[in-house]
Amino acid sequence: MSGIRVLVAGASIAGPALAHWLRRRGAEVTVVERAPELRPGGQAVDARGVTKEVIRRMGLDAAVRAARTETAGAYTVDADGNVLETYRADDNGGDGYISEIEILRGDLSQVLYDDTRDEVEYLFGDRIAELTQDADGVDVVFASGDRRRFDLVVGADGLHSALRAMVFGPHERFVRHLGLVLAFYSVPNEFGLDGWLLDYQDSGRSAGLRPIRDATRAMAMLSFPSGDFDVDYRDVAAQKSLLRERMAGMGWMTPRILAHLDDTPDFYLDQVAQVAMDRWSSGRVALLGDAAFSSSPMSGGGTGLALVGAYLLAGELAAAEWDPEIGFARYETRMRPFVEANQEIGRLHVRSLISPEPSADFDAEWFAELIERAINGVELPDYAGVPDSGTPAGAPITSSAKP
């Protein structure tokens, strides 16, 4: 063991993935999550290209594939349900619009948690309240009152990262809203969904349904353009009211989808946004995933950025013998071109939805090259000579809560 103590904020995808690699590299890891348990459901997330290799190296390929949505493909439809375009999951070698590995965010989070829960300390229902760092470590005060010292702290707490605001500055400095609002929530499958995603678009708005593993239910997806979004992201009642207002008059099956707003167990709504930062680290504190470089759900690459970033961050820290200045710098150098390609795709996708005229030629060679950079445009070193237990090691640690 290296004896290095690392605190990770956030237990969605980036946090547990980083915990996996940090443990294999020899660190002692604590993950703190403000929610009382893992959040279920959420949007479907994808693993394409190099991300599938990271999952394989984690030893989680079988577990991830077992939790897939098993979506066969997607149809875009008109207001009467007539099919306009067809996309299949095996297009482009499984790395197309509907990817071969597609899984609900909550299901992937559960796979990653199950993989690490016995070897990583999880503190649910708590958060970092205060943080001060010096040349040798980071002193943390938790909201629960617990005080501890760590060698390194990593924020993997999402777009609205509290740790980022605490260490780097206010959200407004880094969050770039793209002018679109997305909502996801599960509904009863009363729509005859049979393994295919359905998507209807009209005047910048969209309504869709996608299959999930539970065939009796489906995931609803709604979006609308908005340049003046000012609803608190924690005020669910206000979000539902806004969604009803902005989706009013939408055709197809939209009214039936909206009818389930009040009885869904897993409603989520937020503005489509990206995070742009000159640096993802400050001293002994670094950021990972959406907290550092959100590409937005419209990029299709946010999960890949989180998983690849976790692999590189842990690997570069261990290769630098846990020197944060060296390890964090190398992590940023390797990741930034990959991040930029995925962010560009996110921006292009949003513009194509909300603009009445096409803003880009998606059949052009430059776009195919951009897609390739966003899927495979990062090197995965094998970190030969760096400690790797192969599987997490050490005595089990009892979590403060078991979802």
How many C-beta neighbours within 10 Å does residue 62 have?
Answer: 10
CA distance 203 to 195: 27
In this prediction, residue 214 carries a pLDDT of 85
Is the Cβ–Cβ distance between 31 and 19 less than 8 Å? yes
Domain spans of the chain, in order of start: 5-38+102-174+274-356+363-377
Range name among 114-128, 255-269, 389-403 with the lowest pLDDT average: 389-403
Place of tokens 């995603």: 197
CA distance 331 to 312: 6
Select the more confidently predicted residue: 390 or 270: 270
pTM, whole model, 2 decimals?
A: 0.88
- The pLDDT tens digits of the residues spanning 12-38 come to 999 999 999 999 999 999 999 999 999
Residue type, 104: L
In this prediction, residue 96 carries a pLDDT of 64
Range name among 99-103, 238-242, 285-289, 317-321 with the lowest pLDDT average: 99-103
In this prediction, residue 129 carries a pLDDT of 98
The mean pLDDT of 254-260, rounded to a whole number, is 97
- The pLDDT tens digits of the residues spanning 147-158 come to 999 999 999 999
160 pLDDT exceeds 60? Answer: yes
Phi-psi region of 393 (alpha: psi -120 to 50; beta: other; left: phi over 0): beta
Pairing of strands 196-202, 281-282: unpaired
Place of tokens 């999952």: 55
The mean pLDDT of 177-190, rounded to a whole number, is 93
Degrees to nearest 5, angle at CA 299 with 380 and 122 = 65
CA distance 222 to 207: 5
Question: Which CATH architecture is the domain 5-38+102-174+274-356+363-377 placed in?
Answer: 3-Layer(bba) Sandwich (3.50)
397 pLDDT exceeds 60? Answer: no
% of the chain residues with pLDDT over 90:
68
In this prediction, residue 244 carries a pLDDT of 96
Name the residue among 375, 373, 348 with its Cα closest to residue 362: 348
In this prediction, residue 392 carries a pLDDT of 41
With cut-offs at 50, 70 and 90, classify the pLDDT of residue 302.
confident
CA distance 22 to 6: 8
